[in-house]
Amino acid sequence: METQNAPDEITFGHLAQGIRNLYHAFLMQVYELLRFIYKNWIVFLILILLGFGIGYLMDTQKPAAKNARLIVQLNYSSTPVIYEAIEHLNAKLKGHDYDFLKAHHLYKKGHSLIKEVEITPVVDLSQALQQFRKDSKQGDLVRYLLKQAGKENPEILTSDLFLSQYKLHKIEIKGSRQADPSTLQGILDYLNNNEGLQKAKAVYQKSLASKIHEHKLNIAQIDSIFKRLGERNTLGSIGNNNPVSLYESGQSILDLSKIIREKRTLMEDLEELQADAVNYDNPVVVLNTPDWTRDVKSFFERILWLPITLVAAYMVLAFAISGIKKGKQLTEQQNKK
């Protein structure tokens, strides 16, 4: 038994010793690296400062890329059309269709002024629910989907089911170094000059004006009812738990609590319609004051790569020289034998 176990014990011992040797070799290499950095810290500091200085000068001569963010209101039920137009624009950018970009003032001096355009909805759950409130069955379905989205499937909120229900959207633009304020205007002109949307513009504006007039008229009619009620003093109620109602000849002809709720709803809708009318001149209306900002990530990448490259090059050169010297010593020792 002892003779049979000996090979196993020797093999395990060799394995343990091998792992120990590798660990010790790793510690020695780490120590050598730290000692090398400590001995050459002045050189590293000079290389880092030199790299930052050269990188900064290069960046001032050739500015980094830019970003811009637009908060927009999409009118005339234009959401699907605008999303498709942006997808089409990105395809033209990837395909380097310079004729198309020139036609929309997005190409200048041999360079495309933009790199990518992305649009996403500004999710407003109350707005989504409001659109479906008149249909109780559909409203129940929407509320169920919103509940599911909040738990496990947030992507439902930006799906086609809700996308057209959001008025506000966010457009992120990645621009080139040559991008300027006129570039943003070029993108807006491209989106707004859609022939189909421009033809529908007058129809939607007329419809909005009619809705505002109708809501004002309905509110005025409700106010006149309350005025007549005050004059006739015909308010009554059936029991303490029933809503206040108007009676004639002993029969209820009007549920005042329902009328009050209806007026509140009409006033909320009117306020929203009037707010829409302020920004209803184009399919896409910008609500913020957009401007180009420097791409911070691009800036630091341009600044950092040079000092890192200089330090890495110095270390490679130093280890190469050290390896050559060690190889020379080993060769000389071999020749002496």
What is the chain's mean pLDDT, rounded? Answer: 79
String of DSSP letters for 236-268: E-SSSSSPPEEEETTEEEEEHHHHHHHHHHHHH
Q: What is the pLDDT of residue 319?
A: 82
Q: What is the pLDDT of residue 61?
A: 62
Contacts of 165 (CB under 8 A, 6+ apart): 127, 128, 131
% of the chain exceeding 70 in pLDDT: 75
What's the rounded Cα separation, in Å, for the pair 163 and 169? Answer: 10
Helix extents (H) in the chain: 2-39, 41-61, 79-94, 98-103, 125-131, 136-151, 160-163, 181-192, 195-232, 256-278, 296-336
Low-confidence ranges of the chain (pLDDT < 70): 1-13, 59-64, 127-154, 230-255, 295-302, 337
Handedness of CA 223, 227, 228, 232 (dihedral sign): positive
Per-residue tokens: 216 = 């004002």
Q: Is the separation of the CB atoms in 139 and 155 below 8 Å?
A: no
Residue identified by tokens 């002109």 is: 189
Q: What is the pLDDT of residue 254?
A: 59
Q: What is the pLDDT of residue 143?
A: 65
What's the rounded Cα separation, in Å, for the pair 33 and 42? Answer: 15
Q: What is the pLDDT of residue 186?
A: 93
C-alpha distances out from residue 110 to 14, 75, 91, 98, 99, Å: 67, 35, 19, 9, 11
Q: What is the pLDDT of residue 242?
A: 46
Q: What is the pLDDT of residue 300?
A: 67
Q: Is the separation of the CB atoms in 84 and 194 below 8 Å?
A: no
